[in-house]
Amino acid sequence: MNDLTSKSQQKPYFIEISLDRNGQRIDNFLISQLKGVPKSHIYRILRKGEVRVNKGRVKADYRLKAGDFVRIPPIRQSEKPKDQPGTNLLELIDRSILFEDKRVMVINKPPGMAVHGGSGISFGVIEALRALRPDFPYFELVHRLDRDTSGCLLIAKKRSALRQLHELFRTDQMQKQYLALVRGPWTGGKRKVDARLRKNVLKSGERMVEIQPDGKEALSYFEPIELYQSACLVRVILKTGRTHQIRVHAAHIGHPVAGDQKYGDGSFNQHMRALGLNRLFLHAAYLSFELAESGEISVTAPLSDELNGFLQKLK
């Protein structure tokens, strides 16, 4: 469903909550969806029960669950959103589509672009897709990638597909492979990292993930592909999909990801930047799954010319 415009929204509509919104407060979700609507009005429609989740009333602090159906009532927006995706960005998203059928779409997400708007970001991939195809009835994120991570991003085009894809993620029937450049030297071969992760939110609002015994289960496999003098290109296979999982696990085993400003090594990042790397070197390279009515789908997202060129410099 598109964000509202300055025109009147005449009828209520429903949004099914995707996995990436799991745990988000309903008030924050509405603020991100109803751009230009005063917060006072959003809290008013919550208090009056005009917003419903699974046909029931909820309070402002209700935390959404994947699969919830949110009813949003008719609303007149007080002002049009100031920022909209530009033509160049829409063309970039259109060129980034790697696979599409009637039920799903996979795009090669550009680095530096959020998967959705909110938290000070006017729009992301999902809003750009809705602007690119305003007449299409349904686009929802199946999972998310960090803003600075590029590569395969899976979008559902039907509610039934979204539910099936969530189940594939939950039951580990989704194959996900990443490419990452990490600090070297790398000794030995493939490494398994089984370290539980707990997400914390600092007073500043920044999200930080730590390895803690009481955290959520997180399992990653790191496999070296090419060794360089001060770095190593690795393939990472995820068996779970926790926030910042690869970056935290890589730092945990002493091989932080190049360009990681949050969990990485400052001197290593500076050295990589001097050689020409100006972004996080983390790329969702491969996605494979089987979906009813679509069959087996395998998608590869090639590294950008920028990252390939940098690897050539390291050689």
Q: Residue 98 has what pLDDT?
A: 95
Q: Average pLDDT, stretch 4-19?
A: 68
Asked whether the beta carbons of 301 and 151 are under 8 A apart, the reply is yes
Phi, psi of 29 (to 5 degrees): -60, -45
Q: Residue 295 has what pLDDT?
A: 86
Q: 289: pLDDT confidence band, cut at 50, 70 and 90? A: very high
Which amino acid does the sequence have at 64?
A: L
Question: What's this model's pTM, rounded to 2 decimal places?
Answer: 0.72
Nearest-angstrom CA–CA distance, 206 and 243: 13
* 174-183: pLDDT as tens digits: 899 999 999 9
* 64-100: pLDDT as tens digits: 998 999 999 887 654 444 456 678 878 888 899 999 9
User: Domains of the chain (ranges plus CATH)?
Assistant: 13-72 (3.10.290.10), 87-164 (3.30.2350.10), 174-314 (3.30.2350.10)
Q: 10: pLDDT confidence band, cut at 50, 70 and 90? A: low
Asked whether the beta carbons of 141 and 18 are under 8 A apart, the reply is yes
Q: Average pLDDT, stretch 21-48?
A: 84
Q: Residue 76 has what pLDDT?
A: 64
Angle value at C-alpha 259, between 219 and 246, nearest 5 degrees: 5
* 191-217: pLDDT as tens digits: 999 999 998 876 666 778 999 999 999
**Active site residues per annotation:** 146
pLDDT above 60: residue 3: no
Q: Average pLDDT, stretch 120-145?
A: 79
